[in-house]
Amino acid sequence: MSAGAVTGYTGGSGTAARNPFSRTAALAIVVLGSLLFILLLWMLATGRGFDDTNDGQAHVDGRGLNGFAAMAAYLEARGHPIERARSENALDDPGLLVLTPPPGAEGEDIARIVGERREVGPTLVISPKWVAGPASEAQQARGAKSGWVNLAGTVSPHWEGFLDEVWVELGAVDANGQAARWRGPDGLSGDLPDRDKLAWGGGEGLIPVVTEMDGRVLAAIVRESPGFEDGHYPLVLVFEPDLFDNYGMASGESAPLVDALLRNMGVGPSDPVTFDLTLNGHGRSRNLLTLAFMPPFLSVTVCLLLAAAFAGWRAFMRFGPPATSGPAIAYGKRALVENTAGLVRRSRRFHLLGGPYAERARERLARALGLSRHLDPERTEAAIDRALAARLPEDEPFSAIAARLRAARRPHEILQAARALHALERKLTR
């Protein structure tokens, strides 16, 4: 056989055949897969991409008339860092906190969040007003975007346990016979977008900030009341959400009011603003995976990722092609016996070896002594014992050694009986 005819199998050592993937392609696959895996972990930890918060409700991610996405976008354009709080731990961050609870929120939860915030930063609570439904199929066919809603009616909040001395009322806009128009701080004023329904409030301990032209209070600062000490950050209640929701922000008159209200609350030009989503049903609890992508554990995660990247790079830049390993199971009778012995040794089924070994020895001796193949095992062993007694009367009978081998359970007992049987076989066959 010529050297050129030897192809394919290289034996138990040597080098592999040419890799079908180039180094560049292999590196691109590994890097892309690693980045996608890290992105998946980040999405699982933060909840991004798994649920749609643009659900038509009155919160920061709502893009319908009743949502507050426009207010957040405006504040972000003005230089305020915007944070969407998905856990209660994020509500302790400094800066302004904006709460937009739904009508059926637990008042005690709102009171607890507001009470803990009084020493952290100012809080703005915007009352709900509208009952909204999704856009119809006909409206979607005409170009209605995701999250757009139809305003089907109004509803008052029921927050028992939070400022129970304050009330909210809904009524006609034209109670004074004129279109609704608000007046705010710094001489600001503007029109409300809806000409049918108006929300206003009242109660003890309120300092009006924004009012309707007839004096109804649309937004107010809560005076320090029992349970609140002097010197705490301000709490502002907005009874008429159309001042700041997407419905009202559609006009240019609400934007200056947002700036003036934040100034009066002590919010600086670059202070962060956090919009709460936990009260609107979009909260997430922290877990170990979440903590891995949050300070101070984020630094440990980055170090582990860099170490994994370094280890992968070193593996990619190894010297020479990889060596092929030999077959998992070697060829040949000796290798077969060794593999079988190893299997028995691992399974510890030594007691299964004695019987078959004694049977094979009996068959070999029967052939060597010329005994009939049709004899049963007992008569065959008796014939072997008679032949042994005639030649070597002092030796132990074959049947006794075979019985001892079959009854052996420990490895040294099996080995001792097998050696005795092998020695007897050699004496009778030589």
| List of residues 6+ apart from 400 with CB closer than 8 A | none
State pTM to two decimals.
Answer: 0.58
Instruction: For residue 101, give the nearest of 66, 125, 71, 133 by alpha carbon.
Output: 125
CA–CA gap between residue 203 and residue 123 (Å, rounded): 19
**pLDDT the model gives residue 55:** 74
What pLDDT, on a 0 to 100 scale, did the predictor assign at position 281?
Answer: 79
Question: Pairing state of beta strands 123-126 and 96-99?
Answer: parallel
Is 249 a domain residue?
yes
Give the burial class of 300: count Cβ atoms within 10 A of its Cβ; 0-12 exposed, 13-18 middle, 19 or more buried. Answer: exposed
Select the more confidently predicted residue: 391 or 42. Answer: 391
Rounded-to-10 torsion of CA 166, 172, 175, 178: 130
Tokens matching residue 205: 């301990």
Instruction: Indicate whether 227 and 105 sit together in one domain.
Output: yes
- 385 lies in some domain: yes
| Cα angle 134, 137, 143; round to 5 | 90
Tell the residue number behind the tokens 């050694």, with chain if given: 401
- Residue 264's CATH number: 3.40.50
Query: Is 16 a residue whose pLDDT tops 60?
Result: no
- Tokens 């929120």 map to which residue? 105
**What backbone phi and psi angles, to 5 degrees, belong to 248?**
-80, -35
Q: What is the pLDDT of residue 263?
A: 92
Q: How many domains does the chain have?
A: 2
Residue with the larger pLDDT of the pair 212 and 135 = 212
Which residues, 6 or more positions from 404, have their beta carbon under 8 angstroms from its beta carbon?
417, 420
Domain boundary among 283, 313, 343: 283
Of 9-18, 200-209, 281-290, 355-364, the poorest mean pLDDT is in 9-18
118 lies in a domain?
yes
Whose tokens are 């029109």? That residue is 191
Q: Determine the Cα–Cα distance for residues 408 and 414; give it in Å rounded to an integer.
A: 5
DSSP line for 78-140: TT--EEEE-SGGGGGSSSEEEE---TT--HHHHHHHHHHHTTT--EEEE---EEEEEPPHHHH
Alpha helices in 160-287 (DSSP H): 246-249, 254-264
Q: Are 186 and 260 in contact, with CB atoms under 8 Å apart? A: yes
Integer Cα distance of 157 and 170 in angstroms: 10
| Highest mean pLDDT out of 3-7, 109-113, 331-335 | 109-113
Q: Are residues 217 and 74 in the same domain?
A: yes
Provide the pLDDT confidence category of residue 260 given band limits of 50, 70 and 90.
very high
- The pair of structure tokens assigned to 169 is 């009322």
Range of the domain at 151: 69-283
Residue 197 has pLDDT above 50, yes or no: yes
Angle at 140 between CA 248 and CA 240, to 5 degrees: 20
Residues 404 and 278 in one domain: no
Nearest to 96 by CA among 262, 264, 269, 277: 262
Q: Is residue 80 part of a domain?
A: yes
Q: Which two tokens stand for residue 190?
A: 């503007």
Q: 15 lies in a domain? A: no
Alpha-carbon distance 342 to 379, whole Å?
A: 35
DSSP 15: B
**Position 173 in a domain:** yes
Q: What per-residue confidence (pLDDT) applies to 287?
A: 59
- The answer to whether residue 375 sits within a structural domain is yes
Model confidence pLDDT, tens digit, residues 301-315: 888 888 888 887 777
Domain boundary among 244, 266, 283: 283
- Closest to 390 (Cα-Cα) out of 417, 369, 421: 369
